[in-house]
């Protein structure tokens, strides 16, 4: 037998070991993972003692499961609410018979939050739905805008095992083909008439507050919380970078902004896009041009109902996201209706994606102290 309890700082090493065991990572990378876990679960700017991260402890003292929880302030039709965003339900393979995963999810959903948000595997989705959660099919969909078609295909083949020598021989041919493709639709870049400036926490907070205020459900940000979040995501090494841009129209008014991660794969991960309804096309074109200028072969992100028509018109490919399901649970049916009808501003910055990104990145950096405060 075992029980669910709140996580304590002294549990972090054992949780890091569990993370490495469940996901098959090397134990030598645990220093960076420990630091990242501690910062995400104990140093975030939205502390709420009622909503701690959770562990499942066996009767012999072993930690057999963990579910991270980060509270997030949100607005529902102008009413302040508290959302709780969970991170991956981890269960020790040796403890599957304990129902640790079920008990962790049940404890999470019974918390004081107004809304619970989680991104689940298909297996965890079944558990989540069995205890009252619902699946947001819209927010589980993704899109990809190909910028350099030949090199995008080549990159995909390399990811599936194409020999490095063959890929190197094909690269000049693909580069020439992409140069020709860039002269025709849909790969020809469009002029936007917008000016750009680096994204700052204060500006992003204002941008989201103003341009997403027509959504029934939206996040509440302040400069301090955004600075912490962007600093955490922006810690990097080598060529990896978090790119953030605010765009203004000819009258110098903010009409949108975007945030994406430029990694080593050549495909940019879009974290957030916000745009005035009349400027969605121009903001997307600006994003695509910026990513192309930085050498990316494509950009991809999670679907937003307000962006869907423009993304379709710009020849984006639509897929089942990153393979996970966005789950929601609330005792308030109005909140769930807003999510399911697409009247919620939920991006990778509000949902679980950023937590997983930080933890996976810490493992990729090995023993680096880049995530130490």
- Which two three-digit tokens encode residue 281? 């096309």
The winner for highest mean pLDDT among 172-181, 188-197, 278-287 is 278-287
**What is the per-residue DSSP string for 233-275?**
HH---TT-EEEEEEEE-TTS-EEEEEEEEE-SSSEEEEEEEEE
pLDDT, one tens digit per residue, over 197-215 is: 999 999 999 999 999 999 9
Does residue 141 surpass a pLDDT of 80? yes
- In whole angstroms, give the CA distance from residue 362 to residue 159: 22
User: Does the predicted TM-score (pTM) go above 0.95?
Assistant: no
Q: Tens digit of pLDDT for each residue in 244-261?
A: 999 999 999 999 999 999
pLDDT tens figures, 281-315: 999 999 999 999 999 999 999 999 999 999 999 99
Instruction: Report the pLDDT value the prediction gives residue 373, as an integer from 0 to 100.
Output: 47
Rounded to an integer, what distance in angstroms lies between the CA atom of residue 319 and that of residue 300? 10
Q: Which domains does the chain have, with CATH numbers?
A: 2-140 (3.40.630.30), 142-147+187-319 (3.40.630.30), 151-184 (no CATH)
| Residue 337, CA distances (Å) to 8, 83, 134, 334 in order | 35, 15, 11, 5
pLDDT of residue 30 exceeding 50: yes
Report the C-alpha gap between 318 and 300 in whole angstroms. 10
- The residue-averaged pLDDT of 221-235 equals 91
State yes or no: pLDDT of 25 exceeds 80. Answer: no
Q: What is the mean pLDDT of residues 331-345?
A: 97
Say which residue, 187 or 90, is predicted with more confidence.
90
When pLDDT is cut at 50, 70 and 90, the band that residue 320 belongs to is: confident
């Amino acid at each position: 037998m075992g029980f669910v309890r709140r996580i304590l700082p002294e549990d972090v090493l054992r949780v890091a070991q569990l993370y490495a065991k469940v996901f098959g990572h090397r134990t030598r990378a645990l220093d960076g993972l420990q630091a990242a876990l501690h910062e995400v679960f104990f140093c975030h700017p939205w502390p709420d003692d009622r909503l701690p991260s959770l562990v499942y402890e066996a009767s012999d003292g072993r930690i057999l499961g963990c579910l991270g929880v980060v509270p997030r302030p949100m607005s529902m039709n102008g009413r302040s609410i508290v959302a709780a965003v969970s991170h991956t339900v981890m269960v020790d393979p040796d403890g599957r018979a304990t129902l640790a995963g079920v008990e962790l999810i049940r404890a999470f959903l019974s918390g004081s939050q107004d809304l619970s948000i989680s991104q689940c595997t298909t297996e965890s989705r079944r558990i989540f739905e069995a205890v009252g959660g619902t699946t947001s099919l819209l927010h589980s969909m993704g899109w990809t805008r190909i910028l350099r078609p030949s090199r995008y295909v080549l990159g995909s083949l390399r990811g599936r095992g194409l020999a490095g020598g063959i890929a190197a021989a094909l690269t000049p041919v693909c580069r020439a083909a992409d140069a020709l493709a860039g002269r025709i639709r849909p790969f020809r870049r469009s002029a936007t008439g917008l000016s750009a400036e680096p994204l700052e926490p204060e500006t992003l907070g204002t941008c989201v507050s103003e341009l997403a205020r027509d959504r029934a459900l939206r996040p509440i940000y302040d400069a301090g919380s955004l600075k912490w979040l962007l600093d955490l995501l922006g810690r990097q090494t080598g060529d990896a970078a978090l790119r953030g841009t605010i765009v203004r129209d000819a009258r110098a008014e903010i009409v949108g902004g975007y945030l994406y991660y430029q990694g080593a794969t050549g495909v940019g991960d879009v974290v957030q896009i916000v745009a005035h309804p009349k400027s969605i096309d121009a903001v997307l074109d600006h994003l695509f041009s910026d990513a192309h200028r930085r050498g990316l072969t494509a950009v991809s992100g999670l679907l937003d109902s307000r962006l869907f028509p423009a993304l379709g018109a710009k020849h984006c490919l639509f897929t089942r996201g990153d393979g996970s399901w966005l789950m929601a649970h609330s005792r308030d049916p109005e909140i769930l209706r807003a999510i399911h009808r697409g009247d919620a501003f939920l991006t990778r910055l509000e949902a679980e994606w950023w937590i997983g990104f930080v933890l996976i990145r810490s493992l990729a950096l090995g023993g680096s102290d880049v995530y130490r405060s």
